[in-house]
Structure 1
């Protein structure tokens, strides 16, 4: 019986060896059906936006001085010292004057007035207490309100050539000087193009003003005060910047609202 079983097993193995392998079912490539995605957006209705802009515009008009030129600006111009260049639509204001054989240009922008630039309280207290370290103006201690800082660039040129550019911040009746650069070529200092900016970037801009000897700092402050870069001007500039920003914002509201309604 054992022999019969062994023989049957051997026969089964032999048949399995010659039997073709069972066929696996062929894989069918299924191409997914293309689905059409239709997204419907609500139609934009400009009336709602135009209405909101109109409400904002009315608010600004109701809370603004409707005079074409505010009294503080008219009084500043009446002094006849500085000329104000304010082009409609520009974010910059330029003040110019002459002093002896020198031409002085002060320029500042209103583009960052919306950003908060609060100085540390300790720094403000120090500046109010002592205007002798890069700060011009004795009226700072009398300022009761903290105004926002306005970055200014003051350029002084002479017919003989060359230019000084002073970067300073006007705030609370103070000009806080950051640095003073000398340019052998006045055209590079005064240039307003991107090429001029590129040329200036490669030049030595002078040391940080605070790193200068205190005596040198004091003399530079006197030099600028003599040319009208003083407390009165440092108090005037933030007011002028705020008025300019308000004026351009109202014009932006008017233009945008009109565009949407056309």
Structure 2
């Protein structure tokens, strides 16, 4: 049997509120102004780009960043993503602001222009003056499809292979162009990219709510 009484009818409010949207737009405009006034590109970025054979490849709205250069019959690519500068654990240690420089994961791929075969070195930056990055794995592939395969063997742990082979790989990457300056650039761009994407997001949000 049906329940007695009259069911209340819920009437939704208008989908958008001009007053609410205007408030958000005003707040976004203030945040954009603040961020643009505070933003300054790190000097390491400008210095590196003015004196390198690598070409920086990126686009607005994409978290990925890449350095690319030609090495004879091969192409070398260094790829990484933006990184948040906020450390949620920093306040617990009494640090003000909560901003820190974390290690940045990146991948160096050297690939033949003709065959598509190559090797990918999965790495992370680290603090220190002697060697600014560590290698986790070295993956080799014979085709682009194999390179992108999620089930392909990613190679052994780098620290488990023979020390002479480790040294040889280090020397090989140095010839490709990997050095401490590149690591400084990777870390700097990871944070810079995040700041620029945040400003880009603020502007897109403001434009949408104003439309």
TM-score range, shorter chain: 0.7 to 0.9
Show the counterpart of 1:156: 110
Show the counterpart of 1:54: 29
Contact 2:110 2:118 in 1 (8 A): yes
Q: CA deviation at 1:71?
A: 4.4
Contact 1:172 1:235 in 2 (8 A): no
Q: 1:201 to 1:30 in 2, by over 3 A?
A: closer
> What is the CA RMSD across the aligned residues, in angstroms?
2.8
Q: CA deviation at 1:226?
A: 2.2
Gaps of 5+ in 2: 90-99
Q: CA deviation at 1:169?
A: 1.1
Show the counterpart of 1:180: 138
Show the counterpart of 1:113: 84
Q: TM-score, with normalisation over the residues of structure 1?
A: 0.65
1:83-102 Cα shifts (integer Å, max 9, x gaps):
11122222111111122332
In our comparison, the structure showing a higher alpha carbon Rg is 1
| Greater relative CO, 1 or 2 (CA 8 Å, sep 6+) | 2
Once the two structures are superposed, the pairs formed by residues 99-110 of structure 1 within 5 Å of their partners are 99-110=71-82
Q: CA deviation at 1:153?
A: 1.3
Q: 1:178 to 1:30 in 2, by over 3 A?
A: closer
Once the two structures are superposed, the pairs formed by residues 19-168 of structure 1 within 5 Å of their partners are 31-38=3-10, 44=17, 45-65=20-40, 71-110=43-82, 112-113=83-84, 116=87, 147-159=101-113, 161=115, 162-168=117-123
Gaps of 5+ in 1: 1-28, 119-145, 190-195
How many residues are aligned here?
195
Show the counterpart of 1:4: none
Contact 1:147 1:172 in 2 (8 A): no
1:24-58 Cα shifts (integer Å, max 9, x gaps):
xxxxx785123214366697411221122122111
Q: 1:79 to 1:34 in 2, by over 3 A?
A: same
Q: TM-score, with normalisation over the residues of structure 2?
A: 0.79
